[in-house]
Structure 1
Amino acid sequence: MAAEKTSKLSEAYPMKAGDGPNSYAKNSAYQKGVVGAAKELLNRAIRDLSVLQHLSHCRLGPNTFLSVENILEAVEFKYQGQGFNSQILEFQVFFNDHTPNDFNMLFKSLPQSRQYYAAGVPGSFCGRIFANASIHLVHSSYALHWLSRVPKEIVDIDSPAWNKGRIDYSNSTEEVVRAYEAQYAEDMECFLHARAQEIVYGGLMVLIIPGRPNGTPHSLTLLNAVHQLLGSCLMDLARKGVVREEKVDSFNIPIYNTSPQELEAAVEKNGCFSTEKMENLPRISALDIDNVTRRAQLIAYHIRATTEGLIKQEFGDEILDELFGLYSKKLEQQPSIFESGKAINFLLVLKRNAN
């Protein structure tokens, strides 16, 4: 019975593994900046938490350890401020991600001087991954914009939501947009329901989420715009005969850019958490570079690190260099995409209700 409850059927979308030039480890400076920007807000949130011993962190990567260090530093500061000896604290940290992701890289990179016990917990966070009431704090950074799967209507040629010729939803039909919205709402309910069972009463969930400002059309969201441009590159390769157009028609990126308003509605519907804080993070300048060519290259590396696994699975790895070389050129030719596209990163702190 317990095994039956552990996970929801979910696809895995691993980042580019290892530490090579195209890896996620080498191309996640932007995410590192977001984690740093959230540090002070995170510190203030933890000051209100009575106990913290078991921490879960969702999503592996080079910035994972920075997030953990920030959290534990805040807890130790809290205990010292209350007159307790923080040296008596012991911490158990669980690192969670899908099984295809690079746990080996994580374990090889664990800081030698870490002040916590570490364990890896594989599985989709859309379902149960921990025992009942066993976690005091869940921290998820740059993970909840990934859907558990591409909406099934999107790849059904007989459906009004068939997303022919596109790889994302932002500039598509209303049927496609609604399919993505419905999939995101379903995934968030599963996520919140699972965490409500795993987190102790009074425990916290700290979420760092990329998204779009309230009221912003999906077509004007920066991440959607860069994905749309990547889709145009795939269509260019299809016209050249490098890939089959039918393959492009069936390929979609399972990412959804939510708004704070949508998240508030999901939390309210679930009913197990209260919102302690929701705040936009400062703008991150990691990719704000005056040299247009260099900026285009950095964006291309970043998008490749996060989408290469998906593209390789659908089209093979032979097209990757040609695809992202073309993508980098298009980004360079369309610098206005960075000024016109809207995006926010926001911090959401939820507290587990007692009922």
Structure 2
Amino acid sequence: MCDQFYAMNGGHGSQSYTKNSSPQRGAMEAAEEIIKEEISKKLDIEKLSSSTSTRTISIGDFGCSTGPNTFLAIQNIVEAISKKFETNLSNFHIPEFQVYFNDRTSNDFNTLFALLPFERQYYAAGVPGSFHNRQLPMASLHFAYSSCTLHWLSEVPKEVMNHFSPAWNKGRILYYGDKKEVFNAYAHQFAKDLNSFLKARAQELVFGGLMALLVPCEPNPIKDLSNITLPSLELLGSCLIDLAKKGLFDAAKVDSFNLPVYFTYPNELKALIERNEDFIIERMEILNNSTKHITTPNSKLFTGFIRALYEGLLKAHFGSEIMDELFNTYEEKVEESALLLNPNENSMITFVLLKCKRIS
């Protein structure tokens, strides 16, 4: 899938990510105090101040998207670092801050920077490019942040698109169901992409630099993985099948479409980070998400959230002409389903704080 289709819906309209990203904001708000606490305890500002000859602290948000959420998170990080300098190094001037906002080249950076707070305590720069790859100079970053990003894969696993593979995902748009080969293909791709992400950040961060991750997860499986359910996306797949039956496109279109997302498990995530060896896990826990933002009380809001996330991918494959009918159908199915009885579905977020131990 071409990079240009990965972006969240841009602009300021009713179907934009800007207007439909309150669940992600809930995750960010749930992590605010933890991030402040960890910066206060773990960020070695004496080492940073001695090694930062220009007196500039650099921060990167990887997968920043277009909405205002990133600015709230960055402000929280800047204030926490500033407070630590004030408290611990009273004779040292608070440094200047440089913030890099990174996302794929297709991200709506125009909308992002139109929303940039006028009164802010940092300089801002956009860095277009895949967060799975290195984007900044060696050892140039002091704090990295990424929220609700790492479940996005660099690509759909090739096996699930191959008619001759045991992992061919006929009739489904993700790895739900009882086909272990499909799940294994997605899990392998996630492991590969996470390792690439960590390797890239390890090169960009200074030795001892910190990285805070907010990762969408599923609960650790109690039994086997053969009965995975992802209700909101299974429902979306069923809507595509319905439209194919109406003759709006050939059923083969559904067979050849898969979403490039994977929701890891806390135990799996921990094991993959430890296998990487570039970072030390300083803290890892499930966030108590803010229900004020996570709850989507009606089918219209929930549909808007899903549309803002996945419409770009769907348009590229099925065409823009069917989008309204697709999401009208989806809204009707959400209303008829039990999905909204559990509004926290797909809202489990694992917080991870990592310290870079690789000497670049």
TM-score by length of 2: 0.90
Query: What is residue 213 of structure 2 aligned with on the other side?
Result: 207
Which whole-Å deviations, capped at 9, do the CAs of 1:156-194 have from their partners, x for residues lacking one? 111111101100102241110000000001101111111
Query: What is residue 324 of structure 2 aligned with on the other side?
Result: 321
3-state SS of paired residue (2:18): coil
Query: Please, which of 348, 351, 359 is the counterpart of residue 347 of structure 1?
Result: 351
Query: Please, which of 274, 288, 292 is the counterpart of residue 295 of structure 2?
Result: 288
Contact preservation (8 Å) 1:211, 1:346 = yes
- Structure 1 distance, partners of 2:227, 2:85, is 45
- Structure 1 distance, partners of 2:31, 2:294, is 18
Contact preservation (8 Å) 1:278, 1:348 = yes
Query: What is residue 9 of structure 2 aligned with on the other side?
Result: 16
- Structure 1 distance, partners of 2:101, 2:250, is 39
- Structure 1 distance, partners of 2:298, 2:287, is 22
Distance 1:108 1:246, change over 3 A: same
RMSD: 2.0
3-state SS of paired residue (2:96): coil
Of residues 20-29 and 164-173 in structure 1, the stretch that sits farther from structure 2 once superposed is 164-173
Task: Report the number of matched residues.
Answer: 342
3-state SS of paired residue (2:28): helix
* Cα shift at 1:61: 2.7
Query: What is residue 60 of structure 2 aligned with on the other side?
Result: 56
Identity of aligned residues (%): 46
Query: What is residue 46 of structure 1 aligned with on the other side?
Result: 39
Query: What is residue 158 of structure 1 aligned with on the other side?
Result: 164
Query: What is residue 29 of structure 1 aligned with on the other side?
Result: 22
Alignment of 1:1-355 (within 5 A): 13-47=6-40, 48-51=42-45, 53-59=57-63, 60-62=65-67, 63-84=69-90, 88-215=94-221, 224-285=230-291, 286-288=293-295, 295-336=298-339, 338-339=341-342, 341=345, 343-355=347-359
* Cα shift at 1:283: 3.1
- Structure 1 distance, partners of 2:173, 2:281, is 34
Distance 1:237 1:323, change over 3 A: same
Contact preservation (8 Å) 1:31, 1:142 = yes
The runs of 4+ residues in structure 1 deviating greater than 4 Å are: 9-12, 216-222, 340-343
* Cα shift at 1:87: 6.0
- Structure 1 distance, partners of 2:347, 2:184, is 20
- Structure 2 distance, partners of 1:331, 1:147, is 26
- Structure 2 distance, partners of 1:100, 1:215, is 35
- Structure 1 distance, partners of 2:5, 2:143, is 24
Query: What is residue 53 of structure 2 aligned with on the other side?
Result: none
Contact preservation (8 Å) 1:220, 1:342 = no
Distance 1:44 1:86, change over 3 A: farther
1:84 alignment partner AA: S
Segments of 5+ residues of structure 2 without an aligned counterpart are 49-56
- Structure 1 distance, partners of 2:305, 2:78, is 29
* Cα shift at 1:214: 1.4
- Structure 2 distance, partners of 1:254, 1:115, is 36
- Structure 1 distance, partners of 2:179, 2:17, is 32
1:274 alignment partner AA: I
* Cα shift at 1:338: 4.5
Contact preservation (8 Å) 2:5, 2:313 = no
* Cα shift at 1:244: 1.3
TM-score by length of 1: 0.91
- Structure 2 distance, partners of 1:230, 1:279, is 30
